[in-house]
Structure formats: structure tokens, C-alpha cells
Amino acid sequence: MRSPLNSFIEELPSSGIRKFFDIVSEMNDPEVISLGVGEPDFDTPWHVREEGIYSLTKGKTFYSPNAGLKALRDEISRLLDRKYGLSYDPDHEVMVTVGGSEAIDVALRAMLDPGDEVIIPEPAYVSYKPCAILAGGVPRVIDLRNEDDFRLRARDLEAAITDRSKVLLINYPNNPTGAIMEEEDLRPIAELVIKHDLFVVSDEIYSELNYTDKKHVSIASLPGMRERTVVINGFSKAYAMTGWRLGYAAAPRRIMAQMLKIHQYAIMCAPTTAQYAGIEALKNGDPDIEEMRNEYDHRRRYLLKRFRDMGIGCFEAKGAFYVFPDISRFGLSSDEFATELLHSKKLAVVPGTAFGASGEGHLRISYAYSLKDLKRALDRIEEFVAGLSAR
């Protein structure tokens, strides 16, 4: 029998997180605790869930328009303006998607011709590279550095640009590092993008989880960038709505019209129940965000202090809900460190290399856990590194 498979897909490696997850679940040990989860530990706020339930009670169980409910697009457009000073026409420039993940896939498919290069700063969320490949593009990785606080620097971008470069895919606040990019960091990047006639796909899914006094800045808000940027955001992280699968993209009409075609044929529309809940989240969810952010910030500070006290270097992550400590001085690779930590102290964390080669020497620690759990987990790390130092 000939192969039923697309050889291209067969060669695509599976996610590094997945690999580690398999080890953890094979252990099947109730003593194992995890700091590996990339989703909020909070429940979706009750008033939001209630709107979803109410929409079901009323029998609102039909397809929505392809781009999403008009009322939701209106709210998204208002929110982008209110929070980030971005202006998008809800009728032609906003599309509701099945999570931010679909928006990334659709944006890349709409923009890339075969062989076009997608510049991806790493460490990065695990799906960017495969999405670029699936869209016929060629990923070109930039290795970010701890000493730059994992921000993208113009010199590194410039060095990565070739005559096939088309899209720069950035994600700030960042998973897995917790890094952010402030306006002064984005400005030189935007200048290069314009100079080299590139486009940006900006995954801003963690935009509400920024722990500085300044607000999140979208690269699309910089001069000349709106027409070159697809902004991707969603409900999963800000409103603790991961399982609802609700995200969105905002882009200039010329790009959005093509993205909408792909979405129309492949997906039809995002889940209607989730969309009704999403309207409520955007209308009345600001206090929920504030409360969760506050709580995350307490945990973030607590972790940074614990790592400092243990003598483990950890740059000050200012966004998302991850810290990315540097464990290179213990002479183990991040994979070995995470594996030994799992087996000897029954604590699961994700090795930095799951997010690209430049994650080597680091671990991704999620603080989407209660302080009580974090304390217990950090005690285990402390014991573990004390054992390593005594070797």
C-alpha cells in the first residue's frame, strides 16, 4: 500500500511540550505536581459563564456570521481603541476566530507565498514554526538572549532579513519567557519593518497581563504600522476562557478580506455560545482582569524573589504568567534538569528547549497556580538545587 500521508506533515516534529507531557502522564504518580500549565487557574468569571448559559437557554445555537456576531465585533473594535488606541472597522477589519491559534494559522496562510520567509524570534510559542511551514513558508529563527531580557533587538532583526523575508511574527508579552516589549523597543523594529517592506503578525494574547505601570503597546499603533500588521488577540488569557476557544484578528481590509475567505471555508464561524459569553466579557470584564492581574503579579514577585534567594538567575519577567529562570550554571541541559527534577522531586516544569534552541539553559515556570502550590513547588526546586550544588 502506498503511504496515505502527506510526507511534509510526517516530517513535522511534534511539540516539545507534548513530549514532556507524555513522560509526566506515563509516571501516573499522584505525588507529581506541575508548574507546566499554560492556562489560567481561575474559572471564567461567573457573569460571563452565565451569559453563555443564557444564550443556550434562549436557543441561540445557530451559526453566526463568518466574521462573528456583529455585536461582538463592535465590542472588539471598541476595546482595541479603548485599550491600545487602535482603530479598526468592525464590519471589514475584525474577525472572530477559534482561539488566537486559528487567527495565527489563517493570517500566515493568507499572507505567504511558497518559499516566503517568516522571521520568528525564539524562544517562542510552539505552534508558530509549524504554522509557518504548513502555510508554505520558511521559518527563519532569531535567537533571543537573556541579557536582552528576551526582547527583540533591531540588530538581530536586521541580520535575519533576506530578500525572501515577508512576515515578522512576534509575541509580546511572551510565552514562554514572560518578556515584554515597550514602545521604545518596538520603534526601531517598526522602522526596519517599513524599510524592508515587511509585514507583522503580532500575537498579543497576553496583552492584559503586563505588570509594569505602562500599558501594553501594540506595534500596530506605531506610525505606518497599521497597514502592515495583523493583530491577534483573544479571550483565553485575559478572561480565563481557554476552553471556550475564542479569539480574534484585526487587520487592514485588504488582508482581512483574504483571511476571512480561509476562515469561511475551513471553520465557518467560531462557537456561537462562546461569542455571546465574549460580548459580556468585553463589556463588563475589566474588574475581573484587574483582580486576576493583581493576583498573578503577587505570584510573579514571589517567584522572582524565591529564585533570587536560591541564587538562580532569573530576569525580571514583566508579562504573561511565566518566569524563565536560567539554570545553566548547574551543568545540566534544560531537558536533563527538567527530567531529573521530575523524577527525583516529582515536579513537572517545561524545559526551555521546548520553545526553541535558544531556550537552552532555561526552564519555563508557569505561575497559573495558587501561592500555596507555588510555595510547595519552589521548596522542591530548592531541595533539588541544594542537592545539585552538593554533588
Partner 1 sequence: MREKILDILEKNAKFGASEIAAMLGEDEDRVAAEIERLEDEHVICGYRTVINWNRTDEEKADAFIEVKVSPQRGVGFDQIAERIWQYPEVSSIQLISGSFDFAVFIQGRSMREVAMFVSEKLSTIDGVLSTSTQFVLKNYKDHGILIEGPKKDERLELS
Output the smallest distance, CB 303 to partner 1, in A. Answer: 9
Give the span between the Cα atoms of 308 and 221, in whole angstroms: 36
Nearer Cβ to partner 1 (225/240): 240
The residues, any chain, with a CB within 8 Å of residue 75's CB and separated by 6 or more, are: 278, 279, 282, 283
Q: Is residue 142 within 8 Å of 120, Cβ to Cβ? A: yes
* DSSP H or E segment with residue 344: helix 334-345
Phi, psi (5° rounding) for residue 2?
-75, 160
CA distances from 129 to 154, 168, 212, 340, 356 (A): 21, 12, 29, 28, 10
Nearer Cβ to partner 1 (68/99): 99
Nearer Cβ to partner 1 (118/246): 246
Output the smallest distance, CB 375 to partner 1, in A. Answer: 8
Nearer Cβ to partner 1 (94/350): 350
Amino acid at residue number 70: K
Query: Where do we find the cell 493568507?
Result: 110
Amino acid at residue number 296: Y
Nearer Cβ to partner 1 (81/336): 336
The Cα diameter of the chain in Å comes to 65
Sign of CA dihedral 141, 145, 151, 155: negative
Output the smallest distance, CB 49 to partner 1, in A. Answer: 14
Nearest of 313, 36, 21, 318 to residue 177 by alpha carbon:
318
Output the smallest distance, CB 46 to partner 1, in A. Answer: 13
Nearer Cβ to partner 1 (93/203): 203
Query: Where do we find the cell 487557574?
Result: 41
Nearest of 196, 203, 195, 240 to residue 220 by alpha carbon:
203
Nearer Cβ to partner 1 (205/259): 205
Output the smallest distance, CB 308 to partner 1, in A. Answer: 10
Q: Which residues bind partner 1 (CB under 8 A)?
A: 17, 20-21, 24-25, 32, 34, 36-39, 41, 298-299, 301-302, 305-306, 348, 350, 371, 375
Output the smallest distance, CB 53 to partner 1, in A. Answer: 18
Nearer Cβ to partner 1 (216/299): 299
Nearest of 231, 212, 209 to residue 220 by alpha carbon:
231
Residue 343: other Cβ atoms inside 10 A: 13
Output the smallest distance, CB 176 to partner 1, in A. Answer: 12
Output the smallest distance, CB 109 to partner 1, in A. Answer: 24
